Every structure is written in structure tokens, then in C-alpha cells.
Amino acid sequence: MSDTRVTEVSRGGGVRRAGNYLAGQLRQIGLFIALIVIVIFFQIATAGITLKPINVSNLIVQNSYILILAVGMVMVIIAGHIDLSVGSVVAFSGAMAGVMITQWHFPWWVAIIACLAIGALVGMWQGFWIAYFRIPAFIVTLAGMLTFRGLTQIALQNEQISPFPDEFRALGSGFLPDLGGGQSFLEPLTVIIGIVAVLLLIAQGIRGRIQRKKYAVEDEPFAWFITKLLFTSALILLVTYLLASYRGTPIVLIVLGLLVVVYAAVMKRSVFGRHIYAIGGNLNAAALSGVKTKRVTFLLFVNMGVIASLAGLVFTAQLNLANPKAGDGFELDAIAAVFIGGAAVTGGIGTVTGAIIGGLIIGILNNGMSILGVGSEYQQLIKGLVLLAAVAFDVFNKRRSGGR
Amino acid sequence: MKEATVTTNILEMRNITKTFPGVKALQDVSIEVKRGHIHAICGENGAGKSTLMKVLSGVYPHGTYDGEILFENEPVQFRSINDSEAAGVVIIHQELALSPYLSIAENIFLGNEQQTNGWIDWNKTNLEAGKLLARVGLKDNPITKITDIGVGKQQLVEIAKALSKEVKLLILDEPTAALNDEDSAHLLDLMKHLREQGITSIIISHKLNEIKAVADEVTIIRDGKKIETLDMHADVISEERIIKGMVGRDLASRFPDHTPHIGEEMLRIENWNVYHPLDHERQVVKSANLHVRAGEIVGIAGLMGAGRTELAMSVFGHSYGYNISGKVYKQGVEVKTNTVSAAISHGLAYATEDRKRYGLNLIEDITRNISAAALETLSRFGLVDANREIVVAQGYRKDMNIKAPNVEAITGKLSGGNQQKVVLSKWMFSNPDVLILDEPTRGIDVGAKYEIYGIINQLADDGKGVIVISSELPELLGICDRIYTLAEGRITADVPRADFTAEHLMQYMTQERKDQE
């Protein structure tokens, strides 16, 4: 009896339903709006420098490695773990790339593959202790932070390695070839990529709606769907326009884009991703539901090792330098990005896109404050307060909705 | 002596109304508790019992509700738990609030440390704790850590802690929900004992036999309103009479009618031995043999610590125990159930006794909890079909009558009965042949229990073998076709329905101990 009553309430009026839907999405929307507000603020404060094509291009390139790390870190944090070693793994990967290319004379692409494999080994090492030996990830990766920093210094014999071949450097600071030969008003390849991305987005959105309709599953309100689609498309086209009017598409943006698309799908749709959420939400319940919790945890850290190694390659390529001190503090930036992006410290909650937006917020704060000439002491202060505010907002939100 | 104390009310709550946004949790509730009595409060889950106690103890501070409270004939306005405890009202919650790695004595005096010159006086702490433990009948050393004693003893520590605060009115919220019959009986004796010492108690309980055993009066609450207060001494009040007040109708039977259709053997366990995971010398399950047939509901009865859950969890993917040996036959063929996924693939399902800790992902929605044990069946190439998943969940919400606005509702916010339905849905969706249900109705109100029994019957009628573990003997007597009794890790009897009596079973459940004496 009360069952039918509940159903009627939930069906009561399209407007209220839409309202409820938006309220449920508040966290993601709020984060997105915060990002836009920050961009607009700096656009005004810097008198238009923030959204100049060259600055947007730099912004993407210079934050790419933190964003790459954030993709791996959000998965680790959703599973209820943490990885403090990624900064050292970044340095180690860069150091090994330097040693392989300049001392062992490996071809650049062999070095890249070998470094990613080393990243996997690093992840297996840490994953073994965490998953099968049940040492808390905090401890294992704290030890990893020290050991891999040590191995970096040993590999580099405490010296820097430079320069790297151009092909390798392209991974960090290169652009896709300019089809317009540098003459056209907008770089054609970038425009094509942007338009294809928008078309894929629209196709995917419509396909999803058709399928949900087929299963008679309740969908998001149509107006909201259209608004969201138009908005995202406009945003992609804006970035496309800005990039195309400078030097085109940074190669690292393609790498990052693929990572985001693949891992967002993994976390949202794959069995593996679901198992990560299940482990983070309630480890015992997951184990008793047949989730191979140890194997999932192990693979998670292997994945994190590979991603950290990739970030190391990008970073090294960008600086054209393998440095024993590289990557210092990157783990904290990545963790901050994840938490600003709405992940829960206790695990079980978080999204890849959230982490990326969190990373972008940090990146734009860094960039904007640097343009404004804000001293690094104030930058630290402000970033700290933003992190605290973001998490406080989460906690407030949860409390208001009567969460435990 | 009793007649002298009966005359005054220690507590009067008058016209209490408490509203939450959109819900009237309590409506004009008035109760009177007589000094030196045990006053029981009954009602279905969500009836408002706990809310009333939270109003009384200051969890909901004065001003957030309407009405007035008189304690020892004085109007009181508690603003926090500290206020109410200072006045002598102590509430012991369903979920115990003890710090596991501190000692019994440290827990008793937590927040009320025994000091000399500003430093903690450990001798005094342990000495005083020892005296309090003696009062509650606990013989353990006060320096024992809380993790090292069982739930039953922990409950007694909570009461000792209350006594240390010079309690005048003790409120117990479902004190025996997690206890076995033996510990429950001890606790009820203790309550009577405290009554003789002049301590008034309010007990909230679902277990009507216990209420009958100890309570002087019973107040029944339904839908936030007080229905009646029954004087348990005035005339003979039956359990059915109380249930009638709680549900507002006569429950013709507490168990749905069921005619079993028993078929072939589904699962057989032979010579099953399990040792304690931490104490490798201790054998928890001793050469157990049991079987269940298709369409059969088999009960496992045993006192707490008999090894019921340990037996079930060790069979289900070796989820418990050390050095497990024995054979498992599925429909006559020997199978290995060493991992949970292997057990699931051989058609086993285990719904845990502790929904919140082991059964559900409380921060996820109904959909994702239902699909958790059989995600593979919803996926292709490792990708989950989220739409089909929702359709499945919607089907179970309807079939199982899960009361939630939609399948996106977070399971942590559902009531115990609905959470249990989600757990059962999860295992039904994994399409098992044998379901082991560990305490399927723990912490669930009478109406929802009836529904769960109906689901269990339906599972049996679908040709599945069902094993039900329960510490409530009447429940097993009501729904099972056959009952195994377990005593100290050993199966002591296999009792067919024809021989079902509580006395008979209890005899086997305590057999081992008697043998040893």
C-alpha cells in the first residue's frame, strides 16, 4: 500500500522530477560551475590573458602530467587506498628513460615501452604487499616514495640527463602536424578532431537515450539532456577554436583524452570498475559477493604504476630533462585533484571526470595566480583553502541530505 | 517492598510531538514510567520508539520537539546526552559504543576518569570497575580488552558503565538483538536484579517473550502514536495480544502456511572441520555432516558460539576459518568451494547475519547492490549493461516489495527489513540452488518478518535448498522442515518436523556442555 504511494510521489510532476534530478547531480554540476566561475574570474582579472590561445595551450600541456596521475589516483582512492609514491615513480620513470636513451642508446619508442613496463613492475611490487600481504597502502607507498626516489638517484648517479631526441620530446611538448602548413587561420586537423569529438558525443548521447527507452528505464529530463549536450559541445568547440588558432592540438592532449575516455568507461561500465567501487564501499560485502578483492587491488596498483610511469615520460619529455628531484610533491597535487573532484576519503565514491575537473581547477588557479604575479606563498595558501572548501562543501551537502 | 515503590512515577513524558521535514515521527505521545518498574516499549520498526528515547535522552535537544518531560516530578529540559546522564538517565544504544582496544575498566570510566590529583588512578579505576562488574555478574578481569570479550559481555560492560554514572533510569534499545538465548537470559535476569536495587528500566525490544518475562508494563507505539499501555500484572497478556496492538490487526499466524515439496539432494557436507583463524588450536566446527534437498528448508539451531555462522561461512568460499577440511557434494558430485566465486559458480549463496558490515554496500544504491554477486551475467566483454541492470533491480523491487522511492535509493537509508530484501534479491539474482540465510530476520519488525518467511517459502517452492540459521528458536520451529542442532561445533541432532518442540531442541543445543559436566 505505502509502496504505491511512494511511486506516485516520485512521478508527481515533470518539473519537480527535473528538480529532483538536478539536486541529485548537484555535486557534479557544482564542481563544473566552480571551474567556469574560476575561469571567468581569471579571464577578467588577467584582462583576457587566461583564455588567450597560447595560454590555453600551455595550460593543457603544463597540467597534463598531474591530470594523468589524477586518473590513476581516483581509482586507487575509490578503492579506499592511497598512493603516495607516484611522485617518485614519475622521477624513476623519467630517469630510466634518460638512461635508456642516452646511455644504452635504445630507440625512443623502445624506451617508452620499457618504461611503461617498469611502471607495471613497480605497481606489481607495491600491489603485492598491499593486496596479498595486507600492508596498508599508505605504508607501502610511503616506503615506495622513498625507495623509488632512491632508485632514481642511483640510476642518475645524482646527475641530470639532457637533452632528449625530438621524437621523445614530442610526447610532452609536441603538436599534431599542422595540415594548413602554418598559413591557415585555423589549424585544420584540430578543427576536424574537435568536430569529430562533438559528433561522437552527440551520437553517444542519443544512442544512450534510445537504449534507455528500449529498456523503459527512466532517463534524465529531455531539456536537461539537450542543455548538457549543447553546453559540452560548445565548450569543446571553444577549446578547439582556441587551440586551432595557436599551434594546433598538443600530442599530450590526445594521450590525456584517450585516458579519460577509456578510464571513465572502465569505472562507469566495466565489471572491473564496478568491483573497485564495491571494494571501496564495503570490502567485506564485496568479498562475500564473489569479488576477487585481492586480484582487483593488485591490478589497480599495477595500473597506477603504468599511469605514473606515463606521467613521468610526459613530464621528462616536456622539460627535456631527467632530474633526480623530478615529480617532487606530484602525489599531493594528484590527491588534492581527486578530493576536490568529489571523491570520498573513506572510498567507494568518486569519478574520473570529477578528478579531471578537480585537476583543472588546481591548474587554472596555478596559472591564473602566476599571471597575476601572486607569490608562491599565497598560491599555496589559496590552494589549501580551496581543497578544504571543496571537501567541506561535500560534507555539508551530505549532512543536509540526511546522510550518515 | 514493591508495593511501596509502585506509587510514584519516575518519568512522565507529556504530549510529545516531534516532526522531521515532511514526517511526523511522534504525535502527541504521553507515557508514564513507574519508579522501580521495567517498562517495555513495543512497536514495529519506524513506529517512533527510538525517536521517543532520543527525545528523552536529549539527543534531540529541548526545543526541537513539543511537549514536556517530568523526571522525578521536576520538569527537565535536556539539551544533550550529558544533561540527561547528569540527571541519571542513561541510554544504551543498539549499536554498542565501546572502544574496542581499550580495557573494560577504561571503557567503563571513559569520560568519567578516576583521578587523583589530576592524574588517572589506575588502581582505583580497576578496583571500581571490578566492583561494577560484580554487580552485573561479569567475572572477567577489568583490564581485558573489549575486543577479547563477546557481544553478550560487551552489553554487560555497557550496563556496568551506566551503573558507574549512578543511573536512575536505564534505557536499553534492543539489548538482546545480538545476543544468544543464554546471554539474553542472563541480561534479563540482570534487569530484574537491578529492579530490586531500585533502578527503573525502559526496554525496547522486538522479542515479545522477553518482554513477557521481565516487563511490568508495556507501551505500544504505532505510526508515531501511542496505542495503549498494558499492565502485565493485571491480567494475562499474550504475545498475540501485543502483536495485535503493534500491527493494528490480528496476525492470524506469525508464519505463513507452507506445504513442502521435497525433491533430490542438492547439497551435502561431509566430515567438515574448521579451526579458529587466530587460535589455530581451537576447533570451531567438528566433523559436521549435513545435507539439504531441493524444496527443503533446513534450520541450524545453536547457541551463540556453537559455530553456526562459522560453519556456513567456511563452506561458502572458505570465508572463515583455518585448516578447513571436509567434502562438499553438489547434487551428488564433489565440488570445491575454496573461493567465494567458486562457491557462487557451484550455485551456493550466503546471506550474512550482519547486513551492514558484510552484506551491503551501504553507500551504493539498490541497483548496484542487487547486481553485485552476478555482475558477469549482466555484462558482455567485461562491460556492464547498465540498463538491463536497472530493469532487473526494478523487477526485484516490485516482486520483493522493497519500500523505496526508486531503485536509485541508497541502501544505507533503507529500513532493516528492506535492506534484508535487497540482500535476498542480490542472492536470488545470482540464481543459486542452495541458499544459506544467516539470521534472515534479525532486527526486522514483525510485518517484514512475515514477508521474509513468505520469500523463504517461495524459494523452497522454486526447488532450491534453503538453510536457515537463526538464534530465535520459534522462528526455526515455524518455518523449517528439518532442524540440525549444533553445540560447540558438533552437530548433535537432525530433528524432523514431527519431533519439533523447543524443549527437545534446546536439550540437543546444550548437549555437549552437559556431557562435559
Residues A134-177: tens digit of each pLDDT: 999 999 999 999 999 999 999 999 999 989 999 999 999 899 98
State the DSSP code for B122: H
Write the DSSP string, B295-340.
T-EEEEEE-TTSSHHHHHHHHTTT-S-EEEEEEEEETTEEE---SH
**Cα–Cα distance, A372 to A46 (Å, whole number):** 6
Chain B residues whose beta carbon lies within 8 Å of the beta carbon of residue A283? none
Residue B140 DSSP one-character state:
S
pLDDT at A24: 61
CB-CB under 8 Å, A289 with B372? yes
B340/A272 touch (CB, cutoff 8 Å), yes or no: no
Rounded CA-CA distance A287/A80 in Å is: 14
Q: Which chain A residues are within 8 Å of B412, Cβ to Cβ?
A: 403-404
Does residue B171 carry a pLDDT above 80? yes
Interface contact flag, B372 A286, Cβ < 8 Å: yes
Contact A292 B341 (CB under 8 A): yes
Q: How far is C-alpha B298 from the chain's CA centre?
A: 21
* Number of C-beta neighbours around residue A187 at 10 A: 25
User: Which residues in chain B (408-447) have CB-CB distances under 8 A to chain A?
Assistant: 408, 412-413, 426, 430
Contact with chain A for residue B247, Cβ under 8 A: no
Is there a contact between B403 and A2 if contact means CB atoms under 8 Å apart?
A: yes
Q: Is B382 on the interface with A (CB under 8 A)?
A: yes
Of B361, B413, B426, the CB nearest to A281: B361
Beta-bridged to residue B268, according to DSSP, are: B291, B329
What pLDDT, on the 0 to 100 scale, is given for residue A356? 95
Instruction: Yes or no: say if B100 and B140 are a contact pair by the CB < 8 Å rule.
Output: no
| Percent of chain B clearing pLDDT 70 (strictly above) | 94
Q: In chain A, positions 153-172, which contact chain B (CB-CB < 8 Å)?
A: none
pLDDT of A32 reads 87
A311-348 as b/e, with b when 16 or more CB fall inside 10 Å? bbbbbbbbbbbbbbebbeebbebbbbbbbbbbbbeebb
Mean pLDDT rounded to a whole number for chain B: 87
pLDDT recorded at residue A14? 55
State the pLDDT at residue B442: 82
- Residue B9, Cβ neighbours under 10 Å: how many? 16
Cα angle for residues A14, A15, A16 (degrees, 5° grid)? 95
* Nearest CA-CA distance, residue A279 and chain B, Å: 9
Q: For chain B, how long is the longest CA-to-CA vector? A: 77
* Max CA pair span of chain A: 77
Exposure string for A2-39, b = 16+ CB within 10 A, e = fewer: eeeeeeeeeeeeeeeeeeeeeeeeebeeebbebbeebb
pLDDT computed for residue A404 by the predictor: 38
Rounded Cα gap, residues A29 and A14, in angstroms: 20
Mean pLDDT of A245-273: 93
pLDDT at B181: 72
Which residues of A fall within a CB distance of 8 Å from B343? 290
Query: Identity (one letter) of the amino acid at B174?
Result: E
Alpha-carbon distance of A360 to A67, in angstroms, equals 8
Contact A289 B340 (CB under 8 A): yes
CA distances (Å), origin B49, targets B42, B52, B70, B87, B448: 7, 5, 18, 21, 17
> Would you place residue B250 in the very low, low, confident or very high pLDDT band (cuts 50, 70, 90)?
low
pLDDT over 90 at A197, yes or no: yes
Q: How far apart are alpha carbons A187 and A278 in whole angstroms?
A: 45
Q: What percent of chain B has pLDDT over 90?
A: 48
**pLDDT for the residue A15:** 61
- Count CB neighbours of A230 within 10 A: 11
CATH of domain B261-347+434-443+463-517: 3.40.50.300
**More confidently predicted of A181 and A216:** A216
Q: What is the pLDDT of residue A306?
A: 98
The more confidently predicted of residues A121 and B319 is: A121
Residues 255-294 of A with CB under 8 A from B: 265, 268-272, 274-275, 277-278, 281-282, 284-292
Contact B106, B125 (CB under 8 A): yes
User: CA–CA separation, B309 vs B304, rounded Å?
Assistant: 9
Residue B4 has a pLDDT of 45
Which pLDDT does position A9 carry in this prediction?
Answer: 40
| A324-376 per-position pLDDT tens digit | 999 999 999 999 999 999 898 889 999 999 999 999 999 999 999 999 999 98
The grid coordinates listed for A103 are: 646511455
H, E, C per residue of A324-383: CCCCCCHHHHHHHHHHHCCCCCCCCCCCHHHHHHHHHHHHHHHHHHHHCCCCHHHHHHHH
Task: Please answer yes or no on whether B363 and A344 come within 8 Å at the CB atom.
Answer: yes
Over residues B436-465, the mean pLDDT reads 90
Check CB contact under 8 Å for B382 and A271: yes
Q: Which fold has domain B2-247?
A: Rossmann fold (3.40.50)
Which residues have a Cβ under 8 Å from the Cβ of B58 and sit 6 or more positions away? B78, B79, B80, B81, B82, B83, B84
- Cross-sheet strand order for the sheet of B217-222: B89-92, B169-173, B200-204, B38-42, B217-222, B225-231
How far apart, in whole angstroms, are the C-alpha atoms of residue B97 and residue B85? 15
Taking the CB of residue A353, how many other CB atoms lie within 10 A of it?
Answer: 19
Q: How confident is the model at residue B274 (pLDDT cuts 50, 70, 90)?
A: very high
Phi-psi region of B53 (alpha: psi -120 to 50; beta: other; left: phi over 0): alpha
Q: Of B459, B465, B514, which is closest to residue B485 (Cα–Cα)?
A: B514
User: Residue B338: what pLDDT?
Assistant: 92
Give the three-state DSSP class for B204. strand
Residue B509, all three cell numbers: 543445543
C-alpha to C-alpha distance for B250 and B238, rounded to whole angstroms: 12
Task: Look at residues B313, B358, B360, B359 and name the one whose alpha carbon lies nearest to residue B338.
Answer: B313
Rounded to an integer, the average pLDDT of B344-356 is 92
Tell me: pLDDT of B513 over 90: no
B290: its cell numbers: 549435513
More confident residue, B306 or A236: A236
pLDDT digits (tens, 9 = 90+) for B69-102: 999 988 999 998 888 988 999 998 877 778 888 9
Taking 70 as the threshold, does the pLDDT of residue B2 lie above it?
A: no
Q: In this model, does residue B510 exceed pLDDT 80?
A: no
Chain B closest-CA separation from residue A351 CA (Å): 14
B405 part of contact set with chain A, CB < 8 Å: yes
Residue B200 has pLDDT above 90, yes or no: yes
What CA–CA distance (Å, rounded) separates B253 from B461? 20
H helices present in A180-221, as ranges: 188-214
- Chain-centre distance of CA B188, in angstroms? 16
Q: How far apart are CA B362 and CA B385, in angstroms?
A: 22
Angle among Cα A217, A220, A226 to the nearest 5 degrees reads 130
| Residue A54 predicted with pLDDT over 60 | yes
Determine whether the interchain pair A278/B372 forms a contact, defined as Cβ–Cβ distance below 8 Å: yes
Q: Which position has the higher pLDDT, A345 or A128? A: A128
Type and span of the H or E element at B41: strand B38-42
**How many C-alpha atoms does A387 have within 13 Å on its Cβ side?**
20
**So what's the pLDDT on residue B488?**
83
Contact across the interface for B360 and A286, Cβ inside 8 Å = no
Q: Across the interface, which of A215, A268, A271 has its CB nearest the CB of B375?
A: A271
Give tens-digit pLDDT for B280-298. 888 889 999 999 999 999 9
Band the pLDDT of B517: cuts 50, 70, 90: very low
Q: What is the DSSP letter of B146?
A: G
Q: Are B443 and B177 in contact (CB under 8 A)?
A: yes
Closest-CA distance of chain A to residue B110, Å: 24
Q: Which of A200-204, A260-264, B177-181 has the lowest mean pLDDT?
A: B177-181
**C-alpha span between B383 and B311 (Å, rounded):** 35
Size of interface A-B (CB pairs under 8 A): 106
State the Cα angle at A172 between A169 and A177, rounded to 5°.
80
DSSP state of B31: E
Work out the number of other CB atoms within 10 angstroms of the CB of residue B118: 5
Chain A contact for B350 (CB, 8 A cutoff): yes
- Residue B129: φ, ψ to 5°: -60, -40
Min Cα separation A254/chain B (Å)? 24
Question: Could you tell me how many helices (H) and strands (E) chain A has, helices first?
Answer: 17, 0
Whole-angstrom distance, CA of residue A373 vs CA of residue B136: 70
> Helix, strand, or coil here: B515?
helix
Residue A3 has pLDDT above 90, yes or no: no
Chain position carrying cell 502514536: B225
CA distances from A252 to A176, A199, A261, A281, A325 (A): 10, 22, 14, 33, 22
Judge whether residue A181 has pLDDT over 80: no
Asked which of A367-381, B39-53, B389-403 is least confident by mean pLDDT, the reply is B39-53
The reply to whether domains B2-247 and B261-347+434-443+463-517 share a CATH topology is yes
Mean pLDDT lowest for which of B61-75, B177-191, B217-231? B177-191
Segments making up each domain of chain B, as ranges: 2-247, 261-347+434-443+463-517, 354-431
Residue at A1: amino acid letter: M
Q: What are phi and psi of B411, to 5 degrees?
A: -65, -25
Contacts of A24 in chain B (CB under 8 A): 408
DSSP secondary-structure letter at B482? E
β-bridge pairing B74-76 and B119-120: unpaired
Residues of chain A found within 8 Å of residue B391, distances taken between Cβ atoms: 215-217
* Mean pLDDT, range B396-402, rounded to an integer: 91
Q: Give the C-alpha separation, B491 to B512, whole Å.
A: 10
